[in-house]
Amino acid sequence: MKNGKAVVLVVEDSTIIRMGAIDLVLAAGYEALEAHDADEAIRILESRDDIDLVFTDVQMPGTMDGIKLSHYIRDRWPPVKLIIASGAAILEESMLPVGSRFFSKPYDEHTITDVMAKLLSGEAPIAVAG
């Protein structure tokens, strides 16, 4: 947390969807960072030590998709919370890193902000796919 505010990194290649997710994060009272692909997200994670949650899309251009990125983050930065979303793929929970949450797009913004709050507070949210 930075200045008492949780820091959320949004990773999404679609500018319009990324901006909507940034607005969602800001409206929930968190600091928002953005990356257009996994490579940029990793550079940001390597340069900062205050990122609390990563909210990533699955399908992105570049060296890895959101699933590989989420596993990489879980292995390298275990305390970082993970929310994964996709408009094309419905994923089995076994494909995801432990403790992460998956949502199909379009997702309900209220549900996303509720899960963010629970993850960031240390509560274990109910597994939701919606």
What confidence tier does 3 reach under pLDDT thresholds 50, 70, 90?
A: low
Q: Is residue 2 part of a domain?
A: no
* Residue 1 is assigned to a structural domain of this protein: no
Q: What is the pLDDT of residues 58-84, one digit of tens each?
A: 998 888 999 999 999 999 999 999 999
Q: Has residue 129 been placed in a domain?
A: no
Close Cβ partners of 29 (under 8 Å, ≥ 6 residues apart): 5
Q: How far is CA 92 from the centre of its chain?
A: 17
Provide the pLDDT for residue 129: 45
Q: pTM of this prediction? A: 0.89
pLDDT in tens, 90-120: 666 678 898 899 888 888 889 999 999 999 9
In-domain check, residue 81: yes
The total domain count for the chain is 1
- Establish if 127 belongs to a structural domain: no
What residue numbers bound the domain in which 43 lies? 7-121
Residue 13 has pLDDT above 90, yes or no: yes
Q: For position 14, which CATH number holds?
A: 3.40.50.2300
